Amino acid sequence: MERALTTSCSLRCVPFAHPARHPRAARAPLLRAMASPVDQSLNPLVASLRPSATVQLTDTAVRLREAGVDVVALAAGEPDAPTPAAVCAAGIEAIASGLTRYTPNNGTAPLRAAIAKKLAAENDMIVDPAQVVVSNGAKQAVWQALLATCGPGDQVLIPAPYWVSYPEMARLAGATPVVLPCPAAEGFLLTPRRLASALTPASRLLILCSPSNPTGAVYPEATLRALAEVVAAHPRLLVLSDEIYEYVVFPPARHVSFASLPGMAHRTLTVNGFSKAYAMTGWRLGYLAAPPTFATAAGVVQSQCTSGASSIAQHAALAALGLGPHGGDPVARMVAAFRERRDYVVARLRAIPGVVLDAPDGAFYVFPDASALVGPGAEAPGFGPVPTVAELCRYILEVAHVVVVPGEAFGEPACFRISYATSMEQLEKGLDRIAAALAPEKLQRPSDVAA
């Protein structure tokens, strides 16, 4: 933004301010005018917004690489697999055949029909295509769902660890995020009891994310059913079910859509998309499937913000849905690779004294607890004190040149997130480095001091 402002200013100013053509006296009023203060205040809702930690860290990794540092980035939230060839071919075909115009605001008719068909076949969700809003990524779908349903005075219940954007989006909508801690001991899952104890008349939206970013936890059907019973007792309460990692689940774990549970269809807004399932992060395509009133409202928001998603991406998404049930062979291969990497990463991390984690059932993240390694007395020679896991992540970045994301960004400061959506070679290198940096001879534990 800063650069854009400078550029547009210099484009406008250079012809008048050129020293060869304008003596100092003639330029003075202009310079005074340029220097006059401009109200820099921002919309208070935006001023309090925190930038996405994951996006920032990914940018840091790119910068370090550009500076010649051999960085291992284990921070990215995107599959490393290529977009399936048939999907790419459909994108090219869309351009070649002139599908390069605005589409209907809520998405093309064939794509919305195909999404409704997929939801019926795979998710036990009966939705009319009119209830589907195709957006520029699932992120936009989450945002529009929130904006359509919540406002000042409403509480948005967010189980922690959470995806970084939920609380910020709730605030941006003018609503109040209410964070519900879900510790590792409970599998990072919201319990019905915790939900019941947090509900108030102001509770408007519960956000569930399964499989979860950042923990990889997958809600068992029995837990979802018990949560649905609590939800059913609160007439004002809606549920936003973020199912963007739906396909990345390791059996016997199984994905269950919240909207498919008894009585939940009319109060659940389901978000899904193509980014994670089909390695299509750059195509920017997601969708919302919601009860008619909320789908219509989300579509109106979209009509005033971005209009329809890319015509080319929508045509490609049709091809993605045509790859077969649950994404067909390309997705099956990708998920098998993730499983192998998950097992490898979990085993390597468990071998580091002080690092604690369970093997998650889905997504492509692990979320180990490293709180035993930090605190008063924890210190790395040449780096300094390591009082928190956030500092530990900075230590790992500076000393081991591995990018991981501190758990505080996800509402759980005891942990950090590793994305294993990268090659085995990079994982081996990254974990060798992390293991070396966290070895007791390199990192003095708080307990060492106490002992």
Ligand X SMILES: Cc1ncc(COP(=O)(O)O)c(C=O)c1O
Interacting residues with ligand X (CB under 6 A): 77, 137-139, 142, 163, 209, 213, 242, 244, 273, 275, 281, 286
- The CB-of-139 to ligand X minimum distance in angstroms stands at 3
Q: Which is nearer to ligand X, 139 or 341 (CB)?
A: 139
Tokens for 361, please give them: 């059932």
- The CB-of-427 to ligand X minimum distance in angstroms stands at 19
- The CB-of-417 to ligand X minimum distance in angstroms stands at 11
- The CB-of-212 to ligand X minimum distance in angstroms stands at 7
Residue number, nearest CB to ligand X: 137
- The CB-of-150 to ligand X minimum distance in angstroms stands at 17
Q: Which is nearer to ligand X, 208 or 345 (CB)?
A: 208
> What is each CA distance from 407 to 128, 214, 332, 360, 410, in whole angstroms?
39, 8, 29, 16, 5
Amino acid at 60: T
As to burial, measured by CB atoms within 10 angstroms (0-12 exposed, 13-18 middle, 19+ buried), residue 376 is exposed
Q: Is the dihedral of CA 136, 142, 146, 149 positive or negative?
A: positive
- The CB-of-209 to ligand X minimum distance in angstroms stands at 5
- The CB-of-158 to ligand X minimum distance in angstroms stands at 12
Q: Which is nearer to ligand X, 312 or 378 (CB)?
A: 312
Q: Which is nearer to ligand X, 184 or 277 (CB)?
A: 277
Task: Report yes or no: 242 and 286 within 8 Å, Cβ to Cβ.
Answer: no
- Edge-to-edge order in the sheet of strand 132-135: 132-135, 286-289, 268-273, 238-242, 203-209, 155-160, 176-181
* Cα–chain center distance at 230: 27
Q: Which is nearer to ligand X, 139 or 267 (CB)?
A: 139
In the chain, what is the straight-line distance between the N-terminal and C-terminal CA atoms, in Å?
A: 51
Q: Which is nearer to ligand X, 212 or 223 (CB)?
A: 212
Beta bridge partners of 242: 209, 271
Give the gyration radius of the chain's Cα atoms: 24
Amino acid at 289: A
Q: CA 276 to CA 320: how far, in whole Å?
A: 12
- Edge-to-edge order in the sheet of strand 365-366: 365-366, 416-419, 405-406
Tokens for 58, please give them: 């990914």
Q: Which is nearer to ligand X, 99 or 244 (CB)?
A: 244
Task: Report yes or no: 119 and 289 within 8 Å, Cβ to Cβ.
Answer: yes
Length of the chain counted residue by residue: 451
Q: Which is nearer to ligand X, 295 or 438 (CB)?
A: 295
> Are β-strands 72-73 and 402-403 bridged in parallel, bridged antiparallel, or unpaired?
parallel
- The CB-of-135 to ligand X minimum distance in angstroms stands at 8
Q: Which is nearer to ligand X, 136 or 371 (CB)?
A: 136
- The CB-of-316 to ligand X minimum distance in angstroms stands at 14
Omega before 211 within 30 of 0, i.e. cis: yes
As to burial, measured by CB atoms within 10 angstroms (0-12 exposed, 13-18 middle, 19+ buried), residue 355 is buried
Q: Which is nearer to ligand X, 250 or 410 (CB)?
A: 410
- The CB-of-122 to ligand X minimum distance in angstroms stands at 18
